[in-house]
Amino acid sequence: MVSRHLARLLLLLAPLGAGSFTLPAHAQWPADGRAVCTAANDQLRPVTCADGSGGAIIVWVDSRGGPYTFDIYAQRVNKAGTPMWAPGGVPLCTASGNQQLPVIASDGAGGAIVAWEDNRAGATAPDIYAQRLNSNGGAQWTPDGVAVCSRADEQITPAIAADGSGGAIIAWADYRHLSGDSLIDIYGQRVNASGQVQWTKDGVPVCTALEDQSDPVAASDGAGGAIIAWNDNRNFLFNIHAQRVDGTGAGVWTTDGISLSSSMGDEVISAIVPDGSGGAVVVWEELGDFDFDIYAQRVNPNGSLQWGAGAAAVCTASLDQLVPVVAPDGSGGAIFAWEDSRDSQNDIYAQRINGSSGSKSWNPQTGVAVCAALGDQDRPRLISDGSGGAIIAWHDYRSSTANADVYAQRLSSSGAAQWASNGNAVCTAGSDQILPSVVTDGAGGGILAWADGRSGTSSDVYAQRVTSAGAVAPTVGVSGPTAPGIRLSSPWPNPAREGTAVGLTLPARQTVSAAVFDMEGRLVRSLSRDQELPAGVHSLRWDGRGERGELVSSGVYLLSVRAGVFAGSSKVIVAR
């Protein structure tokens, strides 16, 4: 039933101009992102994996149980922007003590396996635990997680790789030999799809060489095992070493791993990805004479270095290049992105390295400037676009030195920017949006999740989908079946104080429904339900009030219209 406030406002004939329109479903992605979790206190450090159906599984550290009390929660958001699990997310672990540093891998069946650092045994003795969630958000293993390693000493900084059979291989830095010349080591464990540990209790040694080994990263080898790389100080310089472990936990390469570079500079590991042929590509920062550069190495399944003993120089420009990330290019090579300070501010640059030769494919002298806007651009994240290119996301201070926004760019296989110069805005809401994570949507676009401070009191988690064309929903343009002759005009007046109207052109009689939503997708006002309208031009009016007749607050709203199988929306700004 149409409310009494709209009886005089709806669907009046008027000769209004026309324009193109879009189709926003009720479960559309709101502008500036879908609220994934806005529970009390902070939600931090979201990590993501694709759900295999165009959506994403998002995992974060959550303090809803009390300030500085951290647990692990998760939510699945489908490709239309609808949260699929319990409002606010499902708990993976709410055990005593703090749980932090989650890492995530797909289980290959629409769910995910998550590992984390766990202090339930005491703040000075963190352990490693893991949990599997199915596609419905149900925990599949022991409540609060399976103990991957629960020795009395410290186990920290987990890394994870799917084993291809519904389980995962998890690596970590381990303090069990913290004495003499053997300090921190690297250990690993495999957990099967049922949550049973497969190797020796508390893990097998990946590297127990002299001095420190730390900060492991892991990638699947495609054969039930994993390639694990880490920072290694055995030669009193920090270099990058790696080991392949098979499905039984046995080391495949030289005991304690192989060195990935002959360089004499200190190196700091950053990331690893599979190369598609059973090997891996590893990227790191390397300290030269005065600053940090980016180097990478491809190693094959037999442990042979593919890009020379000195590794491939991804970028050696002036000043620092930091926090590199990597994605496979689908041809055995990789695409890299990083923070770059060559212009005395942090920008985002990228490069592609040929899989066979280790040579640079994009502008060998400089790389590709992904974003060189004013202000700093930090913490890039990167995924393959499925066509030899990549989607890169970062947080961006171009609009304010105090508050960051989230931006993204797509590069083609040749390194050409596919979206707006310096990237498309994904979220520019108030306060900070930082540390975006990104996964593929399976259609050449991506789903991003980030920590969001728009509430002004705490950090929440938000997400957004960006299409292969760079559109951030809701968008303006034809959606779904083409709509010849059906048009929705821009609202007027806009901004509006008392009310506004849009024009709807119908080429034939249609059943029309209209409603107003806020930018979180919540219904503000139902204007019309299944009303028959003849062919012609109609004026759809909204008086700026909610369902109870109250004046709505200032802000941005969507006036959404459905006409038969078509639908559209206009963005309305209310300024009181």
The tokens describing 229, both together, are 């790389």
What is the DSSP secondary structure assignment for residue 4, as one 8-state letter? G
Burial 147-166 (b: 16+ CB within 10 A, else e): bbbbbeebbbbbbbbbbeeb
Lowest pLDDT segment from 209-218, 248-257, 297-306, 537-546: 537-546
**Mean pLDDT on 222-251:** 97
Helices (runs of H) and strands (runs of E) counted in the chain: 0, 40
> What is the C-alpha separation between 329 and 467, in angstroms, rounded?
19
**Mean pLDDT on 117-146:** 97
> What is the C-alpha separation between 47 and 323, in angstroms, rounded?
17
Is 476 in contact with 21 (CB distance < 8 Å)? Answer: yes
For residue range 251-310, list pLDDT tens digits in order: 999 999 999 999 988 999 999 999 999 999 999 999 988 899 999 999 999 999 999 999
pLDDT in the model for residue 566? 63
Is 134 in contact with 150 (CB distance < 8 Å)? Answer: no
- pLDDT confidence tier of residue 519, bands split at 50, 70 and 90: low
The tokens describing 563, both together, are 């006409």
For residue range 403-429, list pLDDT tens digits in order: 999 999 999 999 999 999 999 999 999
**Mean pLDDT on 223-231:** 98
pLDDT in the model for residue 216? 98
> What is the C-alpha separation between 521 and 455, in angstroms, rounded?
17
The tokens describing 434, both together, are 């930082």
pLDDT in the model for residue 540? 85
pLDDT over 80 at 518, yes or no? no
Burial 489-503 (b: 16+ CB within 10 A, else e): bbbeeeebeeebbbb
> What is the C-alpha separation between 275 and 355, in angstroms, rounded?
8
The tokens describing 339, both together, are 């923070």
> What is the C-alpha separation between 576 and 574, in angstroms, rounded?
6
Mean confidence (pLDDT) of the chain? 90
* Angle CA 219–339–467, to nearest 5: 70
pLDDT in the model for residue 20? 29
Q: Backbone phi, then psi, for 5, in 5-degree steps? A: -70, -15
Q: Does the model's pTM come out above 0.85?
A: no
**Mean pLDDT on 470-474:** 76
**Mean pLDDT on 515-536:** 79
Q: Where are the beta strands (DSSP E) in 64-181?
A: 71-77, 90-93, 99-106, 112-118, 127-133, 146-149, 155-162, 168-174
pLDDT in the model for residue 417? 97
Which residue shows structure tokens 């805005």? 425
Lowest pLDDT segment from 130-139, 404-413, 464-473, 551-560: 551-560
pLDDT in the model for residue 121? 95
The strand pairing partners of 527, in sequence order, are none
Q: Is the peptide bond before 436 cis (omega within 30 degrees of 0)?
A: no
Q: Backbone phi, then psi, for 279, in 5-degree steps? A: -105, -160
Is 149 in contact with 189 (CB distance < 8 Å)? Answer: yes
pLDDT over 50 at 479, yes or no? no
> What is the C-alpha separation between 275 and 327, in angstroms, rounded?
9
- pLDDT confidence tier of residue 180, bands split at 50, 70 and 90: low
> What is the C-alpha separation between 256 and 336, in angstroms, rounded?
27
The tokens describing 482, both together, are 């083409």
Nearest to 147 by CA among 171, 118, 173, 172: 118
Share of the chain above pLDDT 70, in %: 91
> What is the C-alpha separation between 147 and 131, in angstroms, rounded?
9
pLDDT in the model for residue 483? 44
- pLDDT confidence tier of residue 181, bands split at 50, 70 and 90: low
Lowest pLDDT segment from 140-149, 236-245, 540-549: 540-549
pLDDT in the model for residue 36? 98
Lowest pLDDT segment from 77-91, 203-217, 493-507: 493-507
pLDDT over 70 at 224, yes or no? yes
For residue range 375-395, list pLDDT tens digits in order: 999 999 999 999 999 999 999
Q: Report the topology of domain 4-25+479-574.
A: Immunoglobulin-like (2.60.40)
14 three-class SS: coil
Between these two residues, 225 and 572, which has the higher pLDDT value?
225
For residue range 23-38, list pLDDT tens digits in order: 333 347 998 999 999 9
Which residue shows structure tokens 């352990």? 127
For residue range 345-361, list pLDDT tens digits in order: 999 999 999 999 999 99
pLDDT over 50 at 482, yes or no? no
pLDDT in the model for residue 565? 59
Share of the chain above pLDDT 90, in %: 73
Is 228 in contact with 191 (CB distance < 8 Å)? Answer: no
For residue range 11-22, list pLDDT tens digits in order: 322 223 323 233
